[in-house]
Structure 1
Amino acid sequence: MAPSFTARIQLFLLRALGFLIGLVGRAALVLGGPKFASKTPRPVTEPLLLLSGMQLAKLIRQRQVKCIDVVQAYINRIKDVNPMINGIVKYRFEEAMKEAHAVDQKLAEKQEDEATLENKWPFLGVPLTVKEAFQLQGMPNSSGLMNRRDAISKTDATVVALLKGAGAIPLGITNCSELCMWYESSNKIYGRSNNPYDLQHIVGGSSGGEGCTLAAACSVIGVGSDIGGSIRMPAFFNGIFGHKPSPGVVPNKGQFPLAVGAQELFQCTGPMCRYAEDLAPMLKVMAGPGIKKLKLDTKVHLKDLKFYWMEHDGGSFLMSKVDQDLIMTQKKVVVHLETILGASVQHVKLKKMKYSFQLWTTMMSAKGHDGKEPMKFVDLLGDHGKHVNPLWELIKWCLGLSVYTIPSIGLALLEEKLRYSNEKYQKFKAVEESLRKELVEMLGDDGVFLYPSHPTVAPKHHVPLTRPFNFAYTGVFSALGLPVTQCPLGLNAKGLPLGIQVVAGPFNDHLTLAVAQYLEKTFGGWVCPGKF
């Protein structure tokens, strides 16, 4: 299934356009944009900011710390750091302090034992941030789209309501890419978010504001969404944990845009956090009744797991080569699992992985079981009302007059060209079904697959425009409908986060979450920015 000559020419032209746009963007980075004395925020000095959500909840339940002190500590950190990273785009500090005071009052008045409190409110008093694409009552819900800049949520998204019901206290909403369809979080309403490990680098997308907010210790737990890597890429680029659950477990209701058609089956809402021990408790709350589909309380014996690994996609002509730093880090994990843990570890070559981008595109262009057509991106740009001409918007963008970002304009222009003919669709659909069958049979109920999160560490701003297909390293697992946990593995020589994806078979999320905790214990997990 080698690419045709015509396809190669189209790709060359697309890359050339991306390169030119990237040059313009990088020139803008040098000539304009905010300037800071330091390229990273100050390290954390407040001990409360270095505790997991579970630890904070326990201390609050035991009345060893006041909730209001925890919330105030986070507000102080946000005021100090957020102007540099632009992760949180709307605060709700006054409301959060009132809610924290109510928690302290409740604990002072009620003498319920700790076990009862934990059962009722597992995240009692724990600070939370939420991706702006989700409804949080009284907060904007634009997804970075200028047409929706005045949209205010009248209610909470289902997962937000569940977390608030579990005692979490939202501090604000976080930035995302325009319409959540690009892997750099920047839009015309809120501007660009910056990586706390180096402000000149991207935070990923589309849940990038959430990623950098958590990494900079401005929050401890957060809500993200993922249809092609929108939880996992920001988690990777910002050195935190993120989990894309098995499809259909966590409700998606209350976010914009909400996928329709076949995309609805692959859009996933999931937890993001600094500490691996918070992942499973968050997932239990966020899933609601859907938690019955998982086996999160099953004890996992890591030594008995079968580990499989692959260091790159096999050589797709669409994507960059994987950095040696990432390959060497993955091999360190493999050696440790084999020699120290004593587990079964096997290197594999899944040849169909080189079609990752094509498989994701096939998923995104498929009709739903009910015959619904997939949502058209150009319609979303107009918020299903205003007509948008992508070519005219490109001309306006060149003149500095468009209200849309260049990735959105480019995607709208290419949308129809990226849709496959029925013949190609059927061909790649067969490849997807074959690869999924191969992976599911290989993993079974006791296997995990270790795979690069991205070909490179967090690139500099605008560079993704020259490497538009690299997201397929995460996108392929969305297309395959498998659960994935993104795990941090320290920093490279330049102080940028390293990491890896841990993949399991359908509804075996408990395996990837257990491996995440082990890797955190072994390799150190999240590293506070500014300490490098």
Structure 2
Amino acid sequence: MAYSLAVRFFLKALEYFYRTLRHTVHSCLAIAFRKDAGRTVPPIRDPILLKSAAQLAEEIRTRKVKSQDVVLAYLRRIEEVDPLINATVERRRAAALREAEEVDALVESGAMTREQMARERPLLGVPLTVKVLLSVKGMRSTAGSLLFRDALAAEDAPTVSLMRRAGAIVVATTNTAEMGMHFETNNYAHGRTANPYDLARTSGGSSGGESALISAGGSLLGLGNDMAGSIRLPCMFTGLFGHKPSKGLVTSHGSFPAPISELEKFLFTGPMCRYSMDLQLAMSVLTSQNKNPLKFGQRVNFKDLKVYYMTSVGYHPLITPIDTETALAIKKAVSHFESTYGIKAKEVKIPNLKSAAAIYIHNLMSSCKDIGHALTSGKGDITPFKEFLKHLLGRSTLTQGPIIVMNSPYFPLLYNEDDVVYYEKLGKKLAGEFRQLLDDKSVLLFPTFPLQAPYHHEITMLLPSTCYTLVYNLLGLPVTQCPMGLRADGLPVGLQIVGGMNNDPLTIACAAELEKAFGGWIPPGRTRK
């Protein structure tokens, strides 16, 4: 699209202003958080904490290790790291140890064979943590908000129930952005969660408590949910694997407080972990009750794989360009597939991606006419603009994220009802472009975010760049976030592996392949790979 000289001048001026403002804010926050800059959590010393969920489940089944010892090791690690990262909301120490004792008794009894346990309870005795936006029976469902500080879950979310039925033991619930409405985990109910690789940095949001705890070694396997990148962004910032499933593959019922009827087409529940094999195991459990469950962990012939890649969504004055190390990570992944399997990757351009944020916002707002009512479950007398003014004066009980979202329909620069039909058509066109690109043997390697984990509070300045993740909530495609080692500054770098609809096993298999080649998760404090 050709722009007039006046328009080009305006866009360049806007770009320069935004870049200057962003760098100013970044420099100020670097000074504000200098005392925590470079500080990490203590190194992991207990070897139990470095084993995958799949490996531990096998060792519990074969009596090489007791579930009680595993659960206790994780509870101790939580006690060690949580004062630094503030990742948990509530812990189940006594209940978890009691459940672990029951697991050990079951294994010792011989009532189930090893094969039965592997088939029927593949996560038997393995610790699990759950983002507080997902209900866990008998535990607080605060949604990270003072509005719900005393709410208790009457039952497990269906995904939590599936994991428990498979033998997993819930040891804690984890912190979130208030109501899941920000890309940083910070709220008035539970405070701010820090990144275990650098305490001055955010662990992302809204599943930032989960990502921080897992990466710090305080959890092994977690459940998060994702409405615009809330699994993938935190996993990238903390060097983890995370998976946003295909639309309809895994239920998102049991999320609180958002009414699923209004927001379900944007909301996805999925696993977060340190090892790719645990994504395969968790997804097998989460889809086990489906009519036609997908098969995870099967061998893939990568010589038949078609690899596409992108390192930019195109020019936009408010979208931050991909930095050198993120682009390098994608090129390294491309090079691996090309050199190892003799295939030729292709760089593609999808111009409509730069409008992904506008498409998403207009689809979201038109689907949920009163998003403030939806987020607060009708609790209290919340007037969006009044709450915005109270926030400016420091008197609101709500944090920045939900206030921005609630007021979005009233800011023409963000949302215009007259433009809904246009953006709905543009969204359908974008979906068609992806259907044409991705068949059952294709993946797209794509940035998760253009930069390393920002300082606390900084990500608000970078909201336009979340187009890299939210577009796939709109399209409903499966996406696996894959760690690709550490940057020169010791912070994680990662990429997204995007597949065609219901091709989740392939995106996870590609992540497993890249894990073998580049090392996957690297514990905080370790040297760069």
Q: Settle same-fold status: TM greater than 0.5.
A: yes
CA distance in 1, matches of 2:148, 2:8: 38
CA distance in 2, matches of 1:163, 1:437: 35
Deviates more, 1:357-366 or 1:462-471: 357-366
Alignment of 1:281-296 (within 5 A): 281-290=281-290, 292=292, 294-296=294-296
**Aligned with 1:498: secondary structure?**
strand
Match of 2:371 among 371, 377, 383: 377
**By how many angstroms is 1:394 displaced?**
3.5
Residue of structure 2 equivalent to 1:471 = 466
Mapped contact 2:126–2:168 kept (Cα < 8 A): yes
**By how many angstroms is 1:289 displaced?**
2.3
Tell me whether 1:517 sits opposite 2:500 in the alignment. no
Residue of structure 2 equivalent to 1:405 = 399
Q: 1:346 to 1:220 in 2, by over 3 A?
A: same
Q: 1:298 to 1:70 in 2, by over 3 A?
A: closer
Deviates more, 1:436-445 or 1:507-516: 436-445
Alpha-carbon deviations, 1:287-317, whole Å to 9, x = none? 2423625343654211211000010101123
Alignment of 1:128-527 (within 5 A): 128-260=128-260, 263-290=263-290, 292=292, 294-296=294-296, 299-367=299-367, 374=368, 376-380=370-374, 382-417=376-411, 420-421=415-416, 423-527=418-522
Deviates more, 1:391-400 or 1:432-441: 391-400
Residue identity in the other structure for 1:203? S
CA distance in 2, matches of 1:7, 1:102: 68
Unaligned 5+ segments in structure 2 are: none
Aligned-residue CA RMSD (Å): 3.1
Q: 1:112 to 1:381 in 2, by over 3 A?
A: closer
Q: 1:54 to 1:295 in 2, by over 3 A?
A: closer
Q: 1:403 to 1:428 in 2, by over 3 A?
A: same
**Aligned with 2:229: secondary structure?**
coil
- Identity over the aligned pairs, expressed in percent? 38
Deviates more, 1:139-148 or 1:358-367: 358-367
Deviates more, 1:35-44 or 1:105-114: 35-44
CA distance in 2, matches of 1:157, 1:229: 20
Mapped contact 1:250–1:288 kept (Cα < 8 A): no
Mapped contact 1:206–1:230 kept (Cα < 8 A): yes
Tell me whether 1:76 sits opposite 2:73 in the alignment. no
Mapped contact 2:308–2:443 kept (Cα < 8 A): yes
Mapped contact 1:15–1:467 kept (Cα < 8 A): no
Q: 1:27 to 1:379 in 2, by over 3 A?
A: farther
CA distance in 1, matches of 2:311, 2:33: 36
Match of 1:529 among 517, 524, 528: 524
Mapped contact 1:293–1:507 kept (Cα < 8 A): no
Alpha-carbon deviations, 1:309-346, whole Å to 9, x = none? 01010112331111111011111111121122322311
Mapped contact 1:157–1:255 kept (Cα < 8 A): yes
CA distance in 1, matches of 2:501, 2:495: 19
Residue identity in the other structure for 2:379? G
CA distance in 2, matches of 1:297, 1:47: 25
Mapped contact 1:263–1:366 kept (Cα < 8 A): no
CA distance in 1, matches of 2:498, 2:37: 40
**Aligned with 1:489: secondary structure?**
strand
**By how many angstroms is 1:190 displaced?**
0.3
After TM superposition, the score normalised by the length of structure 2 is 0.92
Q: 1:287 to 1:258 in 2, by over 3 A?
A: farther
**Aligned with 2:200: secondary structure?**
coil
Alignment of 1:18-97 (within 5 A): 39-97=39-97
Q: 1:237 to 1:5 in 2, by over 3 A?
A: farther
Alpha-carbon deviations, 1:427-471, whole Å to 9, x = none? 222222122112112211110000000111111111112122221
**Aligned with 2:525: secondary structure?**
coil
Mapped contact 1:159–1:287 kept (Cα < 8 A): no
Between the two proteins, the alignment pairs up a number of residues equal to: 526
Mapped contact 2:33–2:200 kept (Cα < 8 A): no
**By how many angstroms is 1:421 displaced?**
4.5
Mapped contact 2:280–2:297 kept (Cα < 8 A): no
Residue identity in the other structure for 1:450? L
Mapped contact 1:19–1:465 kept (Cα < 8 A): no
Mapped contact 1:90–1:139 kept (Cα < 8 A): yes
**By how many angstroms is 1:31 displaced?**
9.2
After TM superposition, the score normalised by the length of structure 1 is 0.91
CA distance in 2, matches of 1:102, 1:48: 20
Q: 1:23 to 1:83 in 2, by over 3 A?
A: farther
Mapped contact 1:484–1:502 kept (Cα < 8 A): yes
Unaligned 5+ segments in structure 1 are: 368-373
Deviates more, 1:51-60 or 1:326-335: 326-335
Deviates more, 1:396-405 or 1:488-497: 396-405
Residue of structure 2 equivalent to 1:371 = none
CA distance in 1, matches of 2:409, 2:75: 42
Q: 1:60 to 1:317 in 2, by over 3 A?
A: same
Mapped contact 1:197–1:530 kept (Cα < 8 A): yes
Deviates more, 1:324-333 or 1:389-398: 389-398
CA distance in 2, matches of 1:11, 1:464: 22
Q: 1:375 to 1:134 in 2, by over 3 A?
A: farther
**Aligned with 2:514: secondary structure?**
helix
Mapped contact 2:30–2:455 kept (Cα < 8 A): no
**By how many angstroms is 1:393 displaced?**
2.8
**Aligned with 1:471: secondary structure?**
helix
Mapped contact 1:41–1:81 kept (Cα < 8 A): yes
Residue identity in the other structure for 1:47? P
**Aligned with 1:459: secondary structure?**
coil
CA distance in 2, matches of 1:386, 1:5: 50
Residue of structure 2 equivalent to 1:370 = none
Mapped contact 2:308–2:348 kept (Cα < 8 A): yes
Residue of structure 1 equivalent to 2:104 = 104
CA distance in 1, matches of 2:339, 2:99: 49
Residue identity in the other structure for 1:414? S
